[in-house]
């Protein structure tokens, strides 16, 4: 009888959702090291690597990864163009753009190409993992080590604080914390449809085309605090 009781009250095993990752980089050393690091984590699995834009698109279609880590430059190919092509055929895939160069002008270009996050290759592994986890969970993130430089490329414009309603400011602040539309809607107890309406209005008032751009510009204007991906 005691054996039955112990079985009934056993704590169920904790299961971790594993995120499948495609790494796209023409430098095999970086790709191999990142793949090794991801495979050492309980919640990530590198399922493939690719070195060219065409290979990245073909591998994405075949393997259907949850997340793509995309180098901004693939030899003669553009990583951003590859990101656009992948996004066109797999709209729900999460794309994180990485670069060996800390040129902040690429952040907005990455957002326009459909990226959810941007991280420098020269950052720490812990920062990279934090950005990947934040992006996977619906966040629109820039690695903290790059964020201030990225924000500096957005020119200031006046009057935006007055243009935002109280609710829009709330939504924008939560966007700045790396939350996606569904999570924001739950937290504010509003419908996803209503929340998308606020996000659309914020985009229009900030003159941006994505949440990542909105976060960058809002930080530059002092509307929200610097994003922290930790």
Give how many domains the chain has, as a whole number: 2
Do 129 and 187 share a domain, yes or no?
Answer: no
Domain termination site, one of 133, 151, 169 = 151
- Stated pTM of the model: 0.63
Are 59 and 96 within 8 A, CB to CB? no
14 part of a folded domain: no
Question: What's the CATH number where 212 sits?
Answer: 1.10.10.10
Domain termination site, one of 151, 184, 212 = 151
Do 179 and 78 share a domain, yes or no?
Answer: no
Give the pLDDT of residue 96.
92
Q: What are phi and psi of 22, to 5 degrees?
A: -105, 125
Which domain does 187 fall in, by range? 160-220
Strands, E, within 100-195: which ranges? Answer: 117-120, 141-142
Give the pLDDT of residue 112.
75
Cα maximum dimension of the chain: 74
- pLDDT tens sequence for the chain (230 residues): 444 344 444 444 444 689 999 999 988 888 999 999 999 999 999 999 999 999 999 999 999 999 999 998 887 778 888 998 998 889 889 999 988 766 666 777 787 778 888 888 877 888 888 889 888 876 666 776 665 544 444 444 444 445 788 899 899 888 877 677 888 899 899 999 999 999 999 988 888 777 777 777 787 777 876 544 44
- Residues 88 and 105: their CA atoms lie apart, in Å, by 23
Do 137 and 98 share a domain, yes or no?
Answer: yes
> Which residue, 111, 123, 23, 126, is CA-closest to 66?
23
Question: What's the CATH number where 132 sits?
Answer: 3.40.50.2300
8 part of a folded domain: no
9 part of a folded domain: no
Indicate the helix (H) or strand (E) that contains 18: none
DSSP 48-90: EEESSHHHHHHHHHHH--SEEEEESEETTEEHHHHHHHHHHH-
């Amino acid at each position: 009888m005691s054996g039955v009781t112990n079985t009934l009250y056993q704590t169920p095993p904790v299961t971790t959702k594993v995120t499948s990752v495609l790494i796209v980089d023409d430098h095999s050393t970086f790709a191999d090291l990142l793949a090794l690091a991801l495979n050492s984590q309980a919640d990530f699995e590198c399922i493939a690597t690719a070195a060219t834009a065409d290979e990245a698109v073909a591998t994405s279609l075949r393997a259907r990864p949850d997340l793509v880590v995309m180098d901004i430059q693939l030899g003669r190919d553009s990583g951003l163009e590859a990101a656009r092509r992948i996004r066109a055929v797999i709209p729900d895939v999460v794309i994180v753009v990485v670069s060996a160069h800390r040129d902040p002008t690429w952040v907005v270009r990455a957002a326009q190409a459909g990226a959810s996050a941007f991280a420098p290759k020269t950052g720490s592994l812990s920062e990279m993992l934090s950005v990947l986890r934040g992006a996977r969970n619906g966040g629109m993130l820039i690695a903290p080590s790059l964020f201030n430089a990225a924000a500096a490329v957005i020119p200031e414009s006046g009057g935006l604080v007055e243009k935002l309603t109280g609710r829009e400011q709330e939504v924008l602040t939560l966007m700045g914390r790396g939350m996606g539309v569904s999570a924001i809607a739950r937290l504010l107890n509003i419908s996803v449809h209503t929340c998308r309406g606020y996000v659309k209005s914020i985009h229009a008032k900030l003159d941006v085309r994505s949440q990542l751009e909105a976060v960058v510009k809002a930080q530059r204007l002092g509307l929200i605090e610097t994003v922290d991906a930790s």
